[in-house]
Amino acid sequence: MIEVAKNALPLWGLDGSHVELAAARENQVYRVDTNTNSYALRLHRPGYRNDDELRSELVWMAAVSKNGTKVPEPFLSQAGVYLHQVDGFQVDILSWLNGATFRQAVDSWSTVRLLPVYFSLGQEMAKFHKGMDGWRAPEEFTRWSWDREGLLGEAPIWGRFWENPTLTTDDRKLLEAFRAKADADLKSLETGLDYGLIHADLLSDNVMLDGDVIQFIDFDDGGYGFRLFDLATALVKLIDRPDYEALKTALLNGYLDVRALDVSAFDLVMALRCVTYVGWIADRLNEPGALERNAKNIAAARQLVTAYVNQH
């Protein structure tokens, strides 16, 4: 794969630069170092996104950066385009962001130290959404929609969570009942919920800290959705922590410090975000560590879905 990355470098005038693998997740990400700058070269997972969707993502990221949110900024190639096909792979190049992932802070910092960081994270999310409120996407812009159909329809974006093959009979019934209730509840609420462009995957691995500067990376799953979805994503992996409520309050207060948002449907959106992982992991059960992650995803979904169904 590194040979594909090296073959792409001349398209951006980066011949002879040092290249090394930085991350191998959904995409292969390589760090490219010149004498003066560093870049992130991405080889996109074949078949996940078409060219139009990726071009839209790159135009969008450029707009996000221009509006003041710190994100990797896409670079035009020497041909004046953001995206190229190289040896069968879709390739683009972004600016390299320094810093450490938010996960490192979440895993090692005390609650007292984390609270102001989550407040700041909420502020940055609000600034990001506020910036997108005023951005007019180009006519050819196309991305996924995390709407009612994308979350609960016959073909949800991240899979039919109620058909995860490892579900027990009781869990399957619970998720089917939740799907029906959530669909009805969301149908009655959706016209009043704040909806627009969202990152959709602001987990701690996709937020970076460079000193006090908060940076968002990996817009691969971004598109249109409920703004609460971004807040829920930042919290969904924290629900078993003893300081969860304090971190949730800090995040929401930070957001509301910058931008108004109706949070009355937060429990619903949290449960919806949780079940997306049950659907997402179903097609990846053969990957290393997947069975353990799958069990955790189902347990978390059971907890939030049961609470939602019982309370609403």
Q: What is the pLDDT of residue 191?
A: 81
Per-residue confidence (pLDDT) for residue 56, from 0 to 100: 97
* Mean pLDDT of the region 13-23: 93
Distance of CA 159 to the CA centre of its chain: 16
Quote the radius of gyration of the chain (alpha carbons, Å): 20
How many helices (H) and strands (E) the chain has is answered by 10, 11
CA distance 244 to 304: 13
pLDDT digits (tens, 9 = 90+) for 125-154: 999 999 999 999 999 999 999 999 999 999
- The 10s digit of each residue's pLDDT in 42-97 is 999 888 899 999 999 999 999 999 999 999 999 999 999 999 999 999 999 999 99
C-alpha 209 chain-centroid distance: 16
Q: Across the chain, what does the average pLDDT equal? A: 95
Neighbours of 65 (CB within 10 A): 17
Note the pLDDT of residue 73. 96
Say yes or no: do domains 2-95 and 100-311 share a fold.
Answer: no
What is the pLDDT at residue 241? 95
DSSP letter for 74, please: B
The C-alpha angle 233, 63, 34, rounded to 5 degrees, equals 95
> What pLDDT shows up at residue 170?
97
Tokens of 159: 């899979």
Name the CATH superfamily housing domain 2-95: Phosphorylase Kinase; domain 1 (3.30.200.20)
Buried b (16+ CB within 10 A) or exposed e, 271-294: bbbbbbbbbbbbeeeeeeeeeebb
Residue 33 has pLDDT above 90, yes or no: yes
Q: How much is the pLDDT for 84?
A: 97
Task: Find where tokens 């979805």 sit.
Answer: 229
For residue 47, the model assigns a pLDDT of 86
Complete edge-to-edge strand list for the sheet that includes strand 100-101: 100-101, 207-210, 213-216
pLDDT greater than 90 at residue 26? no
What percentage of the chain has pLDDT greater than the value 90?
91
- Whether residue 298 contacts residue 166, with contact meaning beta carbons closer than 8 Å, is answered with yes
Give the CATH number of domain 100-311; options: 3.10.290.10, 3.40.710.10, 3.10.20.30, 3.90.1200.10: 3.90.1200.10
Given a cut of 80, is residue 243 above it in pLDDT? yes
pLDDT at 152: 97
H-run or E-run covering 232: helix 227-235
pLDDT tens digits, residue range 248-306? 999 999 999 999 999 999 999 999 999 999 999 999 999 999 999 999 999 999 999 99
Q: Where are the domains of the chain?
A: 2-95, 100-311
What pLDDT does 171 receive?
A: 97
